[in-house]
Amino acid sequence: MSELAPAPGQNKPLRIALMGSRGIPASYSGFETFYEQLAVRLAERGHHVTVYNRSHHYKQRWREYKGVHIVTLPSIRSKHLDTLSHSLLSLVHALFAGNDIFYLVIVGNSPLCWLARLFGKKIILNVDGADFARDKWQGFAKKYLSWTEKVAARRADVVIADSTVIQRRYIDLFQRETVFIPYGANPWPREKEAHNRDILERFGLRSGEYILFVSRMTPENCAHVLLEAHRRSGSRHKLVLVGDAPYVDEYKQRVQALCEQTGALMTGYLFGDDYRRMSAHCRYFVLPAGIDGTRPVLLDQMAFGNCVVVRDTPANMEVIGQAGMSFSDADDVESLAQVLRRLDEDDAEVMRLRAAALDRVQQTYSWERITDQYEALFRQMA
């Protein structure tokens, strides 16, 4: 199983196309944050980097962002075609724009590898987790995403795995070697935001007295599990849910109803300073999501120096090491309720895990180190 070391020396600048996300500046999910962090750093190193934005996702038509070139293109606005249609247009544009590197995220985009090959170009594909297992995909869509894993394994020139769990999956199922490059995080100790409390005043919260959830409001992210566990635990700390999602109105309404019943707070999306400050003042963060794969939000929360609680999936346990707490996937609600009760009462444990989480991010998940790995890979591919 491969892990790249940074390539020595400096060579000519590369033309790099980053496709498949909603775009930058980041305002939705992990892939957007990943692209912003990677693209800006590569541009600072002298490379010509282009990120493709979806027109309906950005009111402002960016041409450049922090040295990164932005191309805004339309998509078919539907749950099933939004990503693939935009990625197709992006690849067509990139193929005629003189790029050296073609990088795609999301396994559902893997059929586009055939198009790149028609033009004699190589594709690097970041496959993320087992996308087909997400509850929001049913019927044909679920079968399609399962099929695209096979396409990725056979047709992508390089497959990127963000965790060793995904590496093992591709070896076991498809006998396909992958390159392991994790997500990164920027250490931002919560103490930096100690005096910035405007977000707390806006939502009627008190520092250190709420439990935080941050994710898209989709079934596989399991906000409903956390809501029930929080109710069952009898916690005296308020539960705050940050996030939203398109195309899942039925589930979102279910979560809203549970919030009304339990007194939990839904804030909708928060970004930038609002996100940092909401994160920096929580007692601890909970990630109840059930799909395996590295979650950028988990690294974010560890980078704030937050105590983190995760479902005990292999990828989550790989990320936290000994720097967090976990609950059982087999008996999720009751197991999580027990963890919440413990952390409600054990201030010393919360403080210990905050320090451990920040230290682990600083030692293992540096964005500069990850950018070194990508730059080395891109030079090998050019």
What are the tokens at 361? Answer: 């991010």
Residue 271, pLDDT score: 86
**Inside any domain, residue 10:** no
Averages of pLDDT over each 10 residues, the chain, 382 residues: 52 95 82 93 98 92 96 91 96 98 96 97 87 57 85 97 91 96 92 96 98 93 96 98 84 93 95 94 95 84 98 93 94 96 97 98 91 97 92
What is the pLDDT at residue 141?
72
Same domain assignment for residues 287 and 352: yes
Rounded distance between C-alpha atoms, residue 188 and residue 285, angstroms: 15
pLDDT for residue 9: 46
User: Measured between alpha carbons, how far is 283 from 171 in angstroms, rounded to an integer?
Assistant: 39
Q: Give me the residue label for tokens 């979102």.
A: 252
Rounded CA-CA distance 32/29 in Å is 6
Beta-bridged to residue 71, according to DSSP, are 52
The verdict on 61 and 137 lying in the same domain is yes
Compute the C-alpha angle 182/184/190, nearest 5°: 145
Residue 100 located in a structural domain: yes
Strands of 210-214's sheet in order across: 265-268, 238-242, 210-214, 284-287, 308-311, 325-327
Q: Which structural domain range is residue 232 located in?
A: 190-364
Return the pLDDT at 301: 96
Same domain, 216 and 297: yes
Direct distance between the N- and C-terminal alpha carbons of the chain, in angstroms, rounded to an integer: 22
120: in domain = yes
Please indicate, yes or no, if residue 325 is contained in any of the structural domains: yes
- Structural domain contains residue 103: yes
Q: Is 205 in the same domain as 157?
A: no
177 touches 171 (CB < 8 A)? yes
Q: Is residue 2 part of a domain?
A: no
Helix (H) or strand (E) run with residue 254 in it: helix 249-262
Number of domains in the chain: 2
Smallest CA-to-CA distance from 295 within 372, 221, 217 is with: 221
Q: Are residues 150 and 241 in the same domain?
A: no
Closest to 366 (Cα-Cα) out of 183, 121, 112: 183
By three-state DSSP, how is residue 93 classified?
helix
In three-state secondary structure terms, 198 is helix
Shared domain for 212 and 307, answered yes or no, is yes
Let me know whether 125 and 269 are in one domain.
Answer: no
- CATH code for position 318: 3.40.50.2000
- Shared domain for 215 and 226, answered yes or no, is yes
Looking at the fold, whether 203 and 347 belong to one and the same domain comes out as yes
Residue at 1 is within a domain: no
**Tokens of residue 272, six digits:** 């930038």
Is 4 inside any structural domain? Answer: no
**103 neighbors 142 (Cβ within 8 angstroms):** no
User: Beta strands of the chain (E only): which ranges?
Assistant: 15-19, 48-54, 64-65, 68-73, 101-105, 123-126, 158-161, 179-180, 210-214, 238-242, 265-268, 284-287, 308-311, 325-327
pLDDT value for 144: 82
The answer to whether residues 303 and 313 belong to one domain is yes
- Residue 3's pLDDT is what? 55
Based on C-alpha coordinates, what's the Rg of the chain? 21
Looking at the structure, do residues 208 and 304 belong to the same domain, yes or no? yes
My answer on whether 286 and 373 are in the same domain is no
